[in-house]
Structures are given as C-alpha cells and as structure tokens.
C-alpha cells in the first residue's frame, strides 16, 4: 500500500471522486488544498482561513504550506488535479513520481495558460512523470506547450454508469416541477456564469416557445455569479416565458441523472470549454445534445449524427437547432442508442479508475515508460 498525496479542489465533486480512486486499490490517500476538505478515511491539509480568503496571501503562502505537507508526510506519489497552481508548482519540482491531470481550461491559452501563470504550468508539466488528457484536442494543446507525448496517457475519467443511465423514474420530479407529460424539455446543466451563455439560450428558447408553447427549459444555477443570475432571471420575465422556465438552484450531483432523463435535449453552448463531463452524462442518460461548434469536442461530437452543433453566439442558429431536434424524433432516438454504447465503451468510470490505478502501480514500481 502506498501513500498518495492528492493536490486538488475537494469541493469539486468530480475532483473529489477522482482523487479517491486509489482507495479502491488499497492506497492511503492524503489531500492538500487551500480549501478545507472533509473526506472519509482521508487525512486532509488546508490553509488557515485568513490565508485562504486573501488571494495574494494565498498565492504567496500556498507553496510553503504544500512544502510542509510534502516534508512531513513523505508521500510515495503525488497526483495533481488541474495544472494551474501558480507558485505552488515550485515545491513539486523535485518530487517524483508525479502525475498531473489536465482539465482543459488550465492548458488553453484563452483561459488559464497565459500571463504569469503560463511559465509555472509549463514547469509543472515538464517535471511531471505522467500527464493525463481527456481528448485529442487537449493532446494538441499540450503539444503547443511542450513535447510530452511519451508521458501522456488518455484518461477520460468517465461517469458512474450505475447512476447515469436511461429509464430512471422521473415522474415525481416531473410532477414536482409541474411539467406536463407532453412537454418538450430542454436542460441547461452548466454554471450560471456569462461564459456559459445562458442569456443566449433564453433568447433562443423564447423564440422556440412561439412555435412550441408546451416547451420547458430547466436551468441550473450551479456556481452562480449573482449579478449574472439576476440578469437572466430578469431576462426571463421580460421575455414573458417564466411559465416555461424552471430555475433549479444548485443541483446535487447525485440528482443530475434524473434531470438528464427528464430532458429530451441538453443544451451546452459556452464560449470556451474543456471537454465537459456534461457530454458523457447526457449521452449515458439518453438526452440528445445541442452544443457549440467548439474544436474541443471534435472526435466525439458529430453534427446531425450524435448531436446538433450551433455557431456560438448565434441566437437564430440555436433556434433552428431547437426546432431541428424537436422535429427529428427518429434520428434523436437512433443517436441516443449509439451515444449510450459510446459511453459504455469509452467513459465507464470503473474502467477508467482501473487505468488510473494501473498508472499508479507502474509509477510506484518503476515500470512506467
């Protein structure tokens, strides 16, 4: 049994699940983050609240707290989730073995890989013994930073197929939200922030409702920026579509499969993205996808085959996509079947966890190459 230090945000349900993978193989997990963590059977280290709340203090002090944990705990392996750690990358530069799991936004130049953060991200990636990537597009982004191909491994992380699957019982949820049986339901599961263009979705939906007045749009308020959330609520009132809108608050992760099952179509049109689990989750639950035509999705999303793509920021194009998905029932059903098969083959969290533990074992016994 090895002692594995996880360095990542424990408040993210996805990072939390990924960080605990080693437990299933019998490894001891310790955790470091500037966030506080309350995790079962995990020794967690964080920073004092006064240091966490001040961004400058956190940036300066986090490397020293991390170094203290590394010296005190002497982990056998460190796994970093999200490559943009700023100065906190420095204490890791003499540590081996080290895995860095990139998320997408941390290595894209239009997001985190820029300015003063870029050199530290590159240092960390150069030093890593293994880098994990979720897609071909992320591989290409890494190629633009350095020559990492020999230590690059594909980990999609996947989803829990025992939870994310079609045919879940959602009648009580439908009744709770007063959604009629014949309603055509759209679901926007992304964060309530300007990046995710909920205001564009609302404007397009209002035009769709002019054609299909039984339609309903479910809107997640996860990670809301308060001013933006209020803006889109005001917008819904001004468009006079509140009867067709359900604001959902911040949905518990364990409840997400029910909303995907309730939705005929899932919409995700951020201005930029990594490779979101939203795609796999919708695929697994039988909800057809409308997504922006971002290059990040290439290799998985095929327009008018397994999803419908739209030009970002184009309201009329989004309206046309909504109408297209509404009218092409048989194609939607065919795509839903193929999408579920794709997820079972490529994004099963059990299989992905086994891959991660295999990498751990290789790094620990020196056979990784």
Concatenated DSSP letters for 231-261? HHHHHHHHTT-GGGEEE--S--GGGHHHHHH
Averaged pLDDT for residues 290-310: 93
d(CA 227, CA 236): 14
Distance between the two ends of the chain, CA-based, in angstroms? 22
Contacts of 73 by beta carbon, 8 Å cutoff, 6+ apart: 3, 5, 30, 43
The CATH superfamily assigned to 3-158+348-365 is Glycogen Phosphorylase B; (3.40.50.2000)
Within this chain, domains 3-158+348-365 and 171-346 share the same CATH topology: yes
Third-level CATH fold of 171-346: Rossmann fold (3.40.50)
Q: Please state, in angstroms and as integers, the Cα–Cα distance from residue 26 to each residue in 97, 101, 176, 281, 283, following that order.
A: 18, 21, 42, 28, 32
d(CA 53, CA 228): 23
CB 290 within 8 A of CB 306: no
Averaged pLDDT for residues 223-230: 95
| Domain parsing of the chain, residue ranges | 3-158+348-365, 171-346
Split at pLDDT 50, 70, 90, the class of 369 is confident
pLDDT in tens, 77-106: 999 999 999 999 999 998 999 999 999 889
The predicted model scores a pTM of: 0.86
Q: Say whether pLDDT at 52 is over 80.
A: no
- Nearest CA-CA partner of 107 in 93, 128, 90, 77: 128
Q: Which residue has the higher pLDDT, 231 or 48?
A: 231
Write the Ramachandran bin of 318: left for phi over 0, alpha for psi from -120 to 50, otherwise beta. alpha
């Amino acid at each position: 049994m090895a002692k594995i230090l996880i360095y990542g945000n424990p408040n993210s349900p996805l990072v939390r699940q990924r960080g605990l993978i080693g437990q299933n193989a019998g490894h001891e997990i310790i955790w470091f983050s500037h966030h506080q963590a309350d995790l079962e059977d995990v020794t967690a280290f964080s920073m004092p609240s006064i240091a966490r709340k001040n961004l400058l203090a956190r940036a300066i002090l986090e490397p020293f707290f991390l170094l203290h944990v590394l010296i005190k705990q002497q982990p056998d392996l460190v796994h970093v989730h999200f490559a943009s750690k700023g100065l906190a990358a420095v204490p890791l530069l003499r540590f081996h073995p080290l895995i860095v799991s990139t998320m997408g936004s941390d290595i894209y130049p239009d997001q985190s890989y820029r300015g003063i953060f870029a050199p530290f991200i590159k240092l960390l990636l150069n030093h890593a013994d293994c880098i994990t990537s979720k897609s071909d597009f992320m591989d290409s982004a890494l190629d633009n930073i350095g020559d990492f191909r020999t230590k690059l491994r594909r980990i999609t992380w996947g989803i829990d197929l025992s939870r994310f699957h079609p045919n879940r019982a959602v009648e009580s949820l439908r009744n709770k939200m007063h959604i009629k049986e014949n309603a055509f339901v759209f679901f926007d599961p992304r964060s309530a922030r300007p990046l995710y263009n909920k205001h564009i979705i609302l404007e397009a939906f209002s035009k769709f409702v002019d054609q299909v007045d039984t339609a309903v749009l479910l809107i997640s308020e996860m990670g809301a920026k308060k001013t933006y959330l209020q803006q889109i609520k005001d917008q819904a009132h001004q468009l006079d579509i509140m009867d067709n809108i359900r604001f959902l608050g911040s949905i518990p992760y364990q409840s997400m499969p029910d909303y995907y099952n309730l939705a005929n179509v899932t919409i995700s049109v951020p201005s930029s993205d990594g490779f979101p689990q939203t795609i796999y989750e919708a695929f697994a639950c039988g909800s057809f996808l409308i997504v922006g035509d971002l290059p990040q999705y290439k290799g998985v999303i095929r327009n008018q085959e397994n999803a419908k793509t739209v030009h970002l920021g184009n309201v009329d194009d989004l309206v046309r996509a909504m109408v297209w998905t509404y009218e092409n029932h048989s194609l939607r059903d065919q795509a839903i079947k193929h999408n579920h098969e794709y997820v079972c083959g490529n994004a099963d969290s059990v299989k992905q966890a086994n891959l991660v533990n295999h990498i751990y074992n290789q790094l620990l016994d020196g056979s990784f190459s």
